[in-house]
Amino acid sequence: MSKNQVNNVFHQDFKIKPIDRQKRLNQKPLLIWFTGLSGSGKSTLANGTEQRLFQNGYHTFLLDGDNIRKGLNKDLGFEKEDRNENLRRIAEVAKLMMEAGLIVVAAFISPYRKEREMIKELVGEDRFLEIFVDCPLEECEERDVKGLYQKARKGLIKNFTGIDAPYEAPQKPFLQLPTSDWSKEECLDKIIGSIKEKITWIA
């Protein structure tokens, strides 16, 4: 679409506002964003976090790299530009889900600081909780959950994060979880303990 066409698109106001939906669901929307290397534990912890919230009555949705890349973003690869477009679309989807009142849990490598900043700005700083799933490359490679590191080392996959593509660790994340030292349950206890205050509805 050309710039001209974008200029001819107008914002529509809805009668039902986000605040109405928040009151109905009795919760404040949030984006809980897991970032880290492949195999660091993002999906495991994002799933566990969603399960615990859901079982406690919260309205949630989980967005995960592999699944989104098989559907909405199946036209994108792993070049820097593609990763950025991947995350831009996901951020917009997460924003819509938050407007619907949901607590969104997201698990993406999201290797570039600048893109994570973009997501924070888009959804609002106070509603974006960045969780750094911190696991050394050596341990991720040893886990090699999907056999991708082995393929990357053999040169069968290009631009693999940590091997021949960068990962920029967060400098001031909301939480940093050393998954090579802490168990999954320890990490989940820390997450739930830290976000409890943020998700309680204050009328």
By the rule CB under 6 A, 43 interacts with ligand ADP:
yes
Which entry of ligand ADP, ligand PPS, none binds 179, CB below 5 to 8 A by partner kind? Answer: ligand ADP
Is 194 part of any known ligand binding site?
no
- Number of residues forming the site for ligand ADP (CB under 6 A): 18
Burial of 32 (0-12, 13-18, 19+ CB in 10 A): buried
Burial of 171 (0-12, 13-18, 19+ CB in 10 A): exposed
- Give φ, ψ of 173 to 5 degrees: -70, 160
DSSP 29: -
CB of 122 to ligand PPS, least distance (A): 15
What three-state secondary structure class fits 114?
Answer: helix
136/67 Cα distance (integer angstroms)? 24
Is 37 part of any known ligand binding site?
yes
Specify the residue, 25 or 62, whose C-beta has the smaller distance to ligand ADP: 62
> How many helices and strands, by DSSP H and E, does the chain display?
9, 5
Structure-token pair, residue 151? 């393929």
Taking contact as CB under 6 A, which single stretch among the options 1-9, 52-60, 97-105, 179-187 is the one that binds ligand ADP? 179-187
Name residues contacting ligand PPS, limited to 25-54 (CB under 6 A).
38-39, 42-43
Site for ligand PPS, rule CB under 6 A: 38-39, 42-43, 65-66, 69, 78, 83, 86-87, 108-111, 146, 148, 157, 159-161
- Active site residue ranges: 110
